[in-house]
């Protein structure tokens, strides 16, 4: 037995010991937040058990002192099996596996178990009614060759009275039966020192019986440092997450396997990405969403994307605008999926409900839209994101769905999805429920006092509606037929306007070059002249200019210029940021950029970004060399821009590789 580490914890908020069990809950069910080489875990079975010395694996009566240790109703009488997760492979059900393991463990301790650490043989002393046994599966991420990526199982024993949690690794023998390993056993324990002082410690098997694989079982020092510090932090935190843990509705093991397969399949797309967005984010985000949803279907988008040309003929994609009316129903599909569906987001549950009684939906809300336009906040006690999720959930409930919430594992801050799989009413009540839907939509419009919003489609998110069907694939001409029916169809809400098919570029990028050049020169001279009086004319000092607020800069521009900039998103600030060679905009103030103060690029940048920087070198003229009264602050060799036309290189950035055939 070895002490991996111990840390003192001061509980000023009277959160312990209950906070300890909350922290252990995170480690049990979401170990990937600490151990980044895991995809997650699954508590497959849980039951209350008697102390091993009693020789009986059945539950003991009563709550005893369990409530004092902060588990309350979790150890209520008669609650032997708390979780019943079906076996994914059709084998022995997990509760039966757990019962057999506990019987074997009790017999092992009855025989002496000299090979076990002392903290294992002491289990159950003075805690007859306070033991819980869990069967946990740990799912690793895909590992390099030579490292196992197969799921691993553990028997976890909670001693509620004594404040310990013990982890015993399992291995499967040739007969398919699980047995206890003699290595990698550890225990996390909470000890009350005095008053508000507590101690959290981790005990492990002796070093010679600890085999670190760097994945499921890191080194002992990792337990004593990384894991212990996290547990100490979590157990005294008052803040509760307003979202569920990731992948709470699906099998983590299946998800991890399919995700790695799709990631390997589509990794080459990152190198030949034809869109202007970040390929590292969008490719792997879409791979993660596809993994969560994988089944056959058809994708509908208001705008054709360049990436579509890289898919084969088996991928069904259509360019079409979906409107909330009788022409946009899908009676033959199983699922409607709104992936960053923007103005259609609150309509997805409505369209699914009215398409057929068996139609389900999945929606991943991103930008905040109401039935008619931008969503207006109604509560200040919640974050805007949480409030909007609650609104879309409410829409689903009103439409008659039982709505579930889950968190995806995607590189985005907006990763909560809402799922409507089952109805809360009988099919014979459809007309009655539909009246309720109509009344809700009309009342919601009246409350906001808005009938239309001309800004719909002004953001730059992708807007996707994915129609999935395992019964009958929708016709390729659905969109054309629906558009023809629109004029004669029953409109559900007047004033709805889908985004335009041709996206208007209004981020100052399409402004005439001569107009931009005049604004840049005007603002630069304004900053340089403001600093001229402060410079010592006797010193050879490069003029960095003064910093002015955006408001101060705007006051020096003529009305015609300001009016033209007002039509662009971000206006003056966007134009200045676009001209990043000349300006820096920090905290609302405009500065002349001093390239001597620029930090050198990190070698850890993604390969695609390093390549982009190298290809752009000396492909544009240096603004300072041409316009600044003191010239460029850098030498020609150091400046990434060309000091004169003779240094200009031909840009290679637009020469993209052709996609593989």
Mean pLDDT of 136-154: 76
Question: CB 269: neighbour CB atoms within 10 A?
Answer: 20
For the chain, what's the residue count?
661
Decide if pLDDT at 602 tops 90. Answer: no
Decide if pLDDT at 244 tops 80. Answer: no
* Residue 399: CA count within 13 A, CB half-sphere: 29
432 pLDDT band, cuts 50/70/90, is: very high
Decide if pLDDT at 485 tops 90. Answer: no
Question: What's the alpha-carbon Rg for the chain, to the nearest Å?
Answer: 31
**Alpha-carbon dihedral angle through residues 614, 616, 618, 620, given to the nearest 10 degrees:** -170
Query: What does residue 177 show for φ and ψ, rounded to 5 degrees?
Result: -100, 140
Question: CB 614: neighbour CB atoms within 10 A?
Answer: 10
- Residue 117, CA distances (Å) to 98, 200, 207, 209, 428 in order: 21, 19, 12, 10, 63
* Rounded Cα gap, residues 243 and 247, in angstroms: 12
271 pLDDT band, cuts 50/70/90, is: confident
Contact status, residue 121 vs residue 113, Cβ threshold 8 Å = yes
Under DSSP, the state recorded for 226 is I
Mean pLDDT of 264-280: 81
Query: Poorest-confidence range of 107-121, 173-187, 244-258?
Result: 244-258
389 pLDDT band, cuts 50/70/90, is: very high
* Rounded Cα gap, residues 557 and 214, in angstroms: 61
430 pLDDT band, cuts 50/70/90, is: very high
Q: Which residues pair with 133 in a beta bridge?
A: 47, 157
Mean pLDDT of the chain: 80
For the chain, report the end-to-end CA distance as a whole number of angstroms. 59
Decide if pLDDT at 261 tops 80. Answer: yes
Q: Which residue has the higher pLDDT, 511 or 129?
A: 511
Question: CB 98: neighbour CB atoms within 10 A?
Answer: 23
For helices 347-355 and 430-448, angle between their N-to-C axes, nearest 10 degrees: 160
Q: Which residue has the higher pLDDT, 229 or 129?
A: 229
* Rounded Cα gap, residues 199 and 231, in angstroms: 11
> What percent of the chain clears pLDDT 70, i.e. is strictly above it?
77
- The string of pLDDT tens digits covering residues 164-182 is 999 999 998 888 889 999 8
* Rounded Cα gap, residues 360 and 369, in angstroms: 21
In the β-sheet with 360-364, what is the strand arrangement from edge to edge? 316-319, 297-301, 464-468, 335-339, 360-364, 416-423, 401-407
Mean pLDDT of 417-427: 95
Question: CB 479: neighbour CB atoms within 10 A?
Answer: 18
Location of structure tokens 């129903």 = 329
Location of structure tokens 């459809």 = 430
* Rounded Cα gap, residues 217 and 210, in angstroms: 9
Query: Poorest-confidence range of 24-38, 135-149, 202-216, 432-446?
Result: 135-149
Mean pLDDT of 256-270: 84
Contact status, residue 132 vs residue 162, Cβ threshold 8 Å = no
Of residues 553, 637, 653, 649, the one with CA closest to residue 595? 637
Q: Are β-strands 589-592 and 548-549 bridged in parallel, bridged antiparallel, or unpaired?
A: antiparallel
The token pair at 325 is: 């009316």
* Rounded Cα gap, residues 427 and 434, in angstroms: 11
Q: Are β-strands 316-319 and 297-301 bridged in parallel, bridged antiparallel, or unpaired?
A: parallel
- The string of pLDDT tens digits covering residues 488-526 is 457 787 767 666 666 666 667 778 899 999 999 999 999
* Rounded Cα gap, residues 141 and 256, in angstroms: 7
Of residues 223, 246, 232, 288, the one with CA closest to residue 40? 246
> What percent of the chain clears pLDDT 90, i.e. is strictly above it?
40
Query: What does residue 97 show for φ and ψ, rounded to 5 degrees?
Result: -60, -45
Contact status, residue 438 vs residue 400, Cβ threshold 8 Å = no
Under DSSP, the state recorded for 425 is S
> Which residues 6+ apart lie within 8 Å of 186 measured at CB?
4, 166, 167, 202, 203, 204, 205, 223
Of residues 228, 201, 63, the one with CA closest to residue 132? 63
Contact status, residue 127 vs residue 162, Cβ threshold 8 Å = yes
The 3-class SS string of 449-507 reads CCCCCCCCCCCCCCCEEEEECCCCCCCCCHHHHHHHHHHHCCECCCCCCCCCCCCCCCC
* Rounded Cα gap, residues 179 and 137, in angstroms: 14
Helix (H, G, I), strand (E, B) or coil at 203: strand
Of residues 546, 524, 526, the one with CA closest to residue 535? 546
């Amino acid at each position: 037995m070895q002490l991996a580490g111990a840390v003192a914890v001061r509980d000023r908020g009277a959160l312990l010991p209950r906070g300890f069990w909350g922290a252990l809950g995170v480690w049990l069910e979401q170990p990937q937040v600490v151990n980044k080489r895991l995809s997650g875990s699954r508590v497959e079975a849980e039951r209350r058990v008697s102390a091993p010395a009693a020789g009986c694996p059945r539950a003991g009566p009563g709550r005893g002192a369990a409530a004092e240790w902060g588990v309350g109703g979790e150890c209520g009488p008669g609650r032997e099996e708390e979780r019943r997760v079906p076996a994914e492979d059709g084998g022995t059900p997990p509760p039966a596996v757990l019962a057999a393991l506990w019987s074997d463990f009790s017999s092992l301790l009855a025989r002496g178990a000299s090979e076990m650490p002392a903290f294992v043989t002491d289990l159950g002393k003075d805690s007859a009614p306070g033991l819980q046994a869990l069967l946990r599966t740990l799912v690793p991420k895909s590992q390099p060759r030579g490292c196992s990526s197969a799921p691993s199982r553990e028997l976890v024993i909670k001693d509620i009275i004594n404040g310990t949690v013990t982890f015993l690794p399992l291995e499967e023998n040739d007969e398919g039966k699980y047995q206890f390993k003699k290595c990698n056993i550890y225990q996390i324990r909470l000890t009350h020192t005095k008053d508000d002082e507590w101690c959290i410690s981790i005990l492990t098997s002796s070093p010679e019986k600890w085999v670190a694989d760097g994945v499921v079982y890191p080194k002992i020092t990792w337990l004593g440092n990384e894991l212990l510090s996290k547990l100490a932090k979590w157990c005294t935190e008052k803040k509760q997450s307003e979202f569920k843990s990731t992948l709470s509705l699906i099998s983590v093991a299946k998800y991890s396997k399919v995700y790695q397969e799709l990631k390997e399949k589509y990794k080459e797309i990152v190198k030949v990405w034809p869109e202007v967005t970040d390929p590292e984010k969008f490719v792997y985000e879409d791979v993660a969403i596809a993994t969560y949803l994988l089944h056959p279907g058809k994708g509908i988008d208001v705008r054709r994307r360049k990436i579509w040309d890289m898919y084969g003929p088996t991928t069904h994609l259509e360019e079409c605008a979906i409107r909330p009316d009788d022409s946009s129903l899908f009676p033959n599909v199983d699922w409607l999926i709104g992936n960053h569906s923007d103005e259609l987001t609150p309509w997805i549950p409505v369209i699914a409900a009215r398409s057929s009684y068996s139609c389900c939906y999945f929606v991943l809300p991103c930008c905040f839209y109401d039935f008619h336009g931008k969503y207006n906040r109604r509560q200040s006690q919640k974050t805007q994101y949480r409030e909007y999720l609650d609104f879309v959930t409410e829409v689903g409930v009103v439409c008659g769905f039982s709505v579930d919430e889950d968190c995806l594992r995607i590189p985005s801050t907006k990763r909560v999805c809402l799922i409507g799989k089952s109805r809360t009413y009988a099919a014979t009540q459809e007309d009655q429920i539909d009246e309720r839907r109509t009344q809700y939509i009309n009342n919601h419009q009246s409350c906001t006092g808005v009938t239309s919003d001309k800004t719909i489609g002004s953001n730059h998110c992708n807007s996707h509606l994915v129609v999935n069907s395992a019964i009958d694939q929708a016709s390729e001409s659905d969109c054309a037929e629906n558009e023809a029916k629109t004029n004669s169809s029953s409109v559900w809400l007047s004033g709805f306007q889908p985004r335009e098919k041709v996206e208007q570029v209004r981020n100052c990028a399409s402004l005439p070059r001569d107009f931009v050049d005049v604004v840049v020169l005007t603002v630069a001279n304004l900053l340089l002249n403001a600093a001229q009086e402060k410079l010592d004319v006797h010193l050879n000092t490069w003029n960095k200019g003064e910093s002015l607020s955006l408001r101060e800069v705007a006051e020096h521009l003529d009305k015609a210029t300001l009016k033209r900039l007002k039509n662009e998103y971000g206006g003056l600030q966007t134009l200045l940021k676009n001209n990043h060679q000349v300006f820096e905009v920090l905290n609302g103030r405009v500065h002349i950029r001093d390239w001597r103060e620029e930090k050198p690029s990190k070698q850890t940048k993604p390969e695609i970004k390093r390549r982009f920087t190298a290809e752009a070198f000396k492909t544009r003229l240096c603004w300072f060399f041409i316009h600044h009264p003191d010239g460029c602050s850098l030498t020609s060799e150091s400046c990434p821009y060309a000091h004169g036309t003779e240094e200009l290189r031909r840009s290679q950035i637009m020469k993209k590789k052709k996609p593989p055939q």
